[in-house]
A = this chain, B = another copy of it.
Amino acid sequence: MEAEKFPIVQITEQGKSEFEGIVATEFSLTIILNNRELVTLLCSPTKLDYLAIGFLFSEGLLKSRDEIKKVIVDGQRGVVQVKTKEDKGLARELLFKKRFISSGGGTVKGASFYSDAYIQVQANVESQVVITPHQVFKLADEFRHHSQLFQASHGVHSAALCDTKSILVFADDLGRHNAIDKIFGECVLKDIPTDNRIVITTGRVPSEQLLKVAKRKIPIIISLTVPTGLGVKLAADFGITLIGSVKGKSMNVYTCDWRVVPHDE
């Protein structure tokens, strides 16, 4: 339940092989406090009752265990209902109305925005851009060289916009979502086109990042680490080639592997 299996194409210098790989499930949990929808968190689908209660305490909406009357978990629907003995916290609860909290990326949207964003990118990314494994390994090396100075020892994330040959725009930030926003913001202000280009990131590719990238019609995302399950599903929906776990001369292609071709055209 914490993880999902996906068919993955692994490409190394020795060639291509298919296997069933595991990625972490990205789960959407809505917390309902005294019959009012409070917040939706993206999380791993375990210990949902603990997460809901911990969240309510962290946010100051509950102060003591004695306030809790009932905790009802509906894992199927992704809902935890918490009922308190007294319902005095309305004013504070309203602060959280329509919040949508991502798993680790940190960016936040109104729930309405999330759906909007999804709809905006319903159209497939139709770019015919292709890339060779050699180009992916070369870009990943260049990217690591750019980011390692800071990232390795200080725990920041990096992101870059590339073409198949080299890095065009690079940014790092404590938040991987910020690093991606920085590269796209630079593109806007400097009139750098993003169509048919490639995004490379040190971070995972959760659903939220996939949406950011899909909106820019980016056909290929390369992550040095692993994506989430929802990231993989959205990439498949949008027709985006999602490449992960690029290490040395090995990489995993999660979706749309037709864009990874053996030789330059």
Which B residues lie within 8 Å of A65 (CB)? Answer: 188-189, 191
- Contact assessment for A174 and B44 in the assembled complex, using a CB-CB cutoff below 8 Å: yes
Which B residues lie within 8 Å of A156 (CB)? Answer: 2, 24, 44
When each residue 15-44 of chain A gets 1 if its CB lies under 8 Å from chain B and 0 otherwise, what string results? 000000011101000000000000001111
A89 lies within 8 A of chain B by Cβ: no
Q: How far is the CB of A201 from chain B (nearest CB, A)?
A: 12
Q: How far is the CB of A195 from chain B (nearest CB, A)?
A: 14
A140 lies within 8 A of chain B by Cβ: no
When each residue 80-95 of chain A gets 1 if its CB lies under 8 Å from chain B and 0 otherwise, what string results? 0000000000000001
User: How many residues of A sit at the interface, in one of the four size bands?
Assistant: 35 or more
Which B residues lie within 8 Å of A120 (CB)? Answer: 60
A163 lies within 8 A of chain B by Cβ: no
A57 lies within 8 A of chain B by Cβ: yes
Which B residues lie within 8 Å of A171 (CB)? Answer: 46-47, 50
Residues A166-183 near B (CB distance < 8 A): 171-178, 180-183
Which B residues lie within 8 Å of A46 (CB)? Answer: 171-173, 182
A150-B2, A155-B204, A226-B155 known; A104-B174 Cβ under 8 A = yes
- Contact assessment for A44 and B228 in the assembled complex, using a CB-CB cutoff below 8 Å: no
Q: How far is the CB of A147 from chain B (nearest CB, A)?
A: 12
A128 lies within 8 A of chain B by Cβ: no
A109 lies within 8 A of chain B by Cβ: yes
Q: Give A contacts to B, CB under 8 Å.
A: 2-3, 22-24, 26, 41-44, 46-47, 49-55, 57-60, 62, 65, 68, 71, 95-96, 98-99, 101-110, 112-113, 116-117, 120, 150, 153-157, 171-178, 180-186, 188-189, 191, 204, 206, 212, 215, 225-226, 228
Could you show 27 A-B contacts with beta carbons less than 8 Å apart? Answer: A24-B150, A24-B155, A24-B156, A41-B178, A43-B174, A43-B175, A43-B178, A46-B173, A46-B182, A47-B182, A49-B189, A50-B181, A50-B182, A51-B173, A53-B189, A55-B181, A58-B107, A58-B184, A60-B113, A95-B110, A96-B110, A103-B174, A104-B104, A104-B106, A104-B177, A108-B108, A153-B226
